[in-house]
């Protein structure tokens, strides 16, 4: 494992072992008049166990995730108590009492202020319990008041160290939480910025393409008008002569009409979209488009499932342009399902997003779906998944929805159909005509 992946660097672990090794090699210093302790070997073994547990503490807590932190404090408290009993015949006189700082600081790092106080109280009670044999054997009056004062001072220092460490740990956690939230906000802002940059680049491409399309459409329309007029004259002149010439002139007339319609679509895409916005319900517009498409032959074997929310707020829309949007999407869905038909699901519901309310229309089909590599490109001009088509339908849909301040998205899984989502912002509340008349009066 690399050092940057560890909770502590390796050199800090080595430093910890160095300090414990120094403590193990130091001779046991007793208070004057105290009986001799056990052999120093016991002290060294206990310190070795403390070092091993300290290094393995994170793994121990990971193995016991529910109570691991509390058990770590208990283990250190037990090892500290054993060390006290092996470094003095009268443990209360052992000068290794600072070992209790270890469980106290461990509790301060893992728990909050209240938990730190409780564990420090347990450590202090454990340390003070060494007084019980002395009191039982010699009585409380045998203890020097100065020794009791020193004992109280040591206990107070336990609490002081525990709360000081806990204060820094709590502040560190707050800082970490703030940095984490800041990192999340930066990541979200970065994603929004990337999306805005992509949309800006796309808008620039569309603007250039729109200008090119408008120029080409105007240049092509004039020759088409001449060809169409000439074809009509030829058709009239050849009505009673050669049948082949008459048929060919009919082909010219038909194809010119098709090209003229295509040029009109180019102009629809290229020219600005002047909207006449009115506050109205979206459901009737969707139903009008759906009814028109269902009357077409392509929708003969399609079952429609509607799921409209009970309360849908009004939106500011241009009814004519929105009708074109939903008609195009319904036709695409029906054509995707083909002659075998399928199910067309239409859902309308309001949602809260980005601090505003939007009305979302979802149009889902059961066709073959859209390949993953095409989902981000199908809204661009001249990109289509159909064998016949120029790929302007969804580009015009996107342009109209963008002009309304909305968004168009698509989700699809190959073989499980596609779902187009059109989101339009809710209109701000406006007084009706009677209220305005009342205010003018």
CATH value at residue 233:
1.10.287
The answer to whether residues 388 and 360 belong to one domain is: yes
pLDDT of 356 higher than 90: no
Residue 179 has pLDDT above 90, yes or no: yes
pLDDT of 32 higher than 70 = no
* 126 and 14 belong to one structural domain: yes
Phi, psi for residue 39 in degrees, rounded to 5: -60, 145
Q: How confident is the model at residue 155 (pLDDT cuts 50, 70, 90)?
A: very high
Give the C-alpha separation, 118 to 116, whole Å.
5
Q: Are residue 40 and residue 139 in the same domain, yes or no?
A: yes
Which pLDDT value is given to residue 6?
A: 44
How many distinct structural domains can be found in the chain? Answer: 3
Q: For residue 287, is pLDDT > 60?
A: yes
pLDDT band at 180 (very low <50, low <70, confident <90, very high): very high
- 181 occurs within a structural domain: no
> Are the CB atoms for 110 and 52 separated by under 8 Å?
no
| Average model confidence (pLDDT) across the chain | 79
User: Would residue 174 count as lying in a domain?
Assistant: no
String of DSSP letters for 209-251: HHHHHHHHHHHHHHHHHHHHHHHHHHHHHTTTS-HHHHHHHHH
**Residue 291 is encoded by which pair of tokens?**
């009814």
Question: Domain range spanning residue 382?
Answer: 278-425
pLDDT digits (tens, 9 = 90+) for 361-402: 999 988 888 877 666 667 766 656 555 555 667 777 888 888
- Name the pairing type of β-strands 356-364 and 418-425: antiparallel
Q: Do 295 and 214 lie in a common domain?
A: no
Q: What are 286-294's contacts with CB under 8 Å, separation 24+?
A: 286/326, 286/346, 286/348, 286/361, 288/323, 289/323, 289/325, 289/326, 289/327, 289/330, 290/326, 290/330, 290/346, 292/327, 293/327, 293/330, 293/331, 293/334
**Which of the listed ranges 137-141, 164-168, 369-373 does the model predict with the highest average pLDDT?**
164-168
251-278 mean pLDDT: 71
The residue among 252 and 319 whose pLDDT is bigger is 319
Check whether 436 has a pLDDT greater than 70.
Answer: no
Instruction: Name the nearest CA neighbour of 162 among 210, 201, 127.
Output: 127
Do residue 306 and residue 383 come from a single domain?
yes
Q: Give the pLDDT confidence score for residue 383 in this predicted structure.
A: 57
32 C-beta neighbours (distance < 10 Å), count: 5
- Together in a domain, 7 and 133: yes
pLDDT digits (tens, 9 = 90+) for 194-217: 878 877 776 676 666 666 666 666
DSSP assignment letter at 96: T
Q: Of the residues 240, 270, 300, which one is the last residue of a structural domain? A: 270
CA distance 335 to 296: 11
CB atoms within 10 A of CB 108: 27
pLDDT tier at 124 (50, 70, 90 boundaries)?
Answer: very high
Contact 326, 361 (CB under 8 A): yes
Q: What is the mean pLDDT of residues 397-422?
A: 85
How many Å apart are CA 25 and CA 52, to the nearest integer?
17
State whether 211 and 315 are in the same domain: no
| CATH number of the domain residue 308 falls in | 3.30.565.10
Instruction: Look at residues 241, 270, 299 and tell me which one is the last residue of a structural domain.
Output: 270
Any domain includes 408 = yes
In a domain, 29, yes or no: yes
Structure pTM? Answer: 0.49
Is 435 a domain residue?
no
> Which of 210, 244, 270 is at the close of a domain?
270
User: Is residue 226 in a domain?
Assistant: yes
Distance, CA of 290 to CA of 372 (rounded, Å): 27
pLDDT class for 156, splitting at 50, 70, 90?
Answer: very high
Q: Based on the domain organization, do 7 and 77 belong to the same domain?
A: yes
Q: What is the DSSP string of 145-190?
A: HHHHHHHHHHHHHHHHHHHHHHHHHHHHHHHHHHHHHHHHHHHHHH
31 and 112 co-located in one domain: yes
For residues 16 and 102, is the Cβ–Cβ distance under 8 A?
Answer: no
Angle in degrees, CA 352, 357, 363, rounded to 5: 80
What pLDDT, on the 0 to 100 scale, is given for residue 162?
92
User: Is 250 among the domain residues?
Assistant: yes
pLDDT confidence of residue 134: 79
Which residue has better confidence, 174 or 428?
Answer: 174
The span from the CA of 417 to the CA of 342, in Å, is 10
pLDDT of residue 433: 39
> Which residue, 340, 326, 332, is CA-closest to 288?
326
8 A C-beta contact, residue 49 and residue 41:
no
For residue 191, what pLDDT band results from cuts at 50, 70 and 90?
A: confident
- φ/ψ region of 276 (left if φ > 0, alpha if ψ in -120 to 50, else beta) reads beta
Question: Would you call 18 helix, strand, or coil by DSSP?
Answer: helix
243 with 368, same domain? no
Around Cβ 338, how many Cβ atoms within 10 Å?
A: 12
pLDDT in tens, 215-226: 666 667 677 777
Kindly write down the DSSP assignment for every residue of 109-148, as one continuous string: HHS-HHHHHHHHHHHHHHHHTTHHHHHHHH-GGGS-HHHH
Q: Are residues 253 and 282 in the same domain?
A: no
149-158, 190-199, 265-274: segment of lowest average pLDDT = 265-274
What is the per-residue pLDDT for 75?
92
Average pLDDT over residues 337-342: 80
Q: Is residue 315 part of a domain?
A: yes
- My answer on whether 288 and 385 are in the same domain is yes
Closest CA to 80 of 106, 67, 98, 58: 98
Question: Taking a C-beta distance cutoff of 8 angstroms, is the pair 210, 388 a contact?
Answer: no
Where is pLDDT greater, at 158 or 232? Answer: 158
């Amino acid at each position: 494992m690399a050092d940057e992946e560890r909770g502590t660097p390796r050199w800090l672990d080595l430093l910890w072992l160095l300090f414990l090794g120094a403590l193990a090699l130091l001779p046991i210093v007793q208070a004057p008049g105290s009986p001799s302790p056990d052999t120093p070997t016991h002290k060294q073994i206990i310190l070795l166990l403390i070092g091993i547990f300290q290094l393995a503490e994170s793994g121990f807590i990971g193995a016991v995730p529910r109570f691991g932190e509390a058990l770590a404090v208990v283990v250190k408290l037990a090892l500290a108590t054993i060390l006290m009993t092996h470094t003095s015949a009268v443990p209360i006189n052992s000068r290794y009492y600072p070992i209790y700082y270890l469980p106290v600081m461990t509790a301060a790092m893992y728990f909050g202020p209240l938990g730190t106080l409780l564990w420090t109280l347990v450590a202090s009670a454990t340390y003070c319990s060494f007084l019980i044999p002395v009191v039982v054997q010699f009585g409380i009056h045998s203890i020097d008041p100065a020794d009791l004062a020193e004992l109280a001072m040591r206990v107070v220092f336990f609490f002081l160290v525990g709360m000081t460490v806990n204060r820094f740990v709590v502040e560190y956690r707050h800082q970490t939480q703030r940095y984490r939230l800041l990192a999340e906000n930066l990541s979200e802002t970065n994603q929004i910025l990337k999306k805005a940059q992509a949309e800006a680049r796309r808008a620039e491409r569309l603007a250039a393409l729109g200008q090119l399309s408008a120029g080409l459409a105007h240049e092509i329309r004039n020759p088409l008008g001449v060809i169409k007029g000439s074809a009509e004259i030829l058709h009239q002149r050849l009505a009673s002569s050669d049948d082949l010439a008459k048929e060919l002139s009919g082909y010219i007339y038909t194809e010119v009409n098709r090209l003229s319609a295509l040029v009109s679509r180019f102009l629809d895409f290229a020219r600005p979209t002047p909207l006449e916005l009115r506050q109205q319900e979206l459901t009737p517009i969707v139903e009008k488009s759906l009814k028109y498409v269902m009357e077409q032959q392509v929708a003969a074997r399609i079952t429609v499932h509607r799921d409209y929310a009970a309360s849908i707020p009004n939106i500011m829309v241009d009814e004519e342009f929105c009708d074109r949007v939903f008609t195009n999407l319904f036709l695409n869905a029906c054509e995707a399902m083909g002659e075998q038909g399928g199910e067309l699901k239409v859902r309308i519901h309001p949602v809260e997003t980005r601090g505003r309310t939007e009305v979302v229309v979802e149009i889902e089909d059961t066709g073959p779906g859209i390949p993953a590599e095409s989902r981000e490109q199908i809204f661009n001009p001249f990109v289509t998944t159909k064998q016949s088509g120029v790929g302007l339908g969804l580009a015009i849909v996107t342009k109209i929805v963008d002009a309304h301040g909305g968004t168009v998205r698509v989700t699809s899984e190959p073989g499980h159909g596609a779902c187009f989502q059109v989101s339009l912002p809710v209109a701000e509340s406006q007084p009706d005509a009677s209220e305005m008349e009342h205010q003018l009066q």
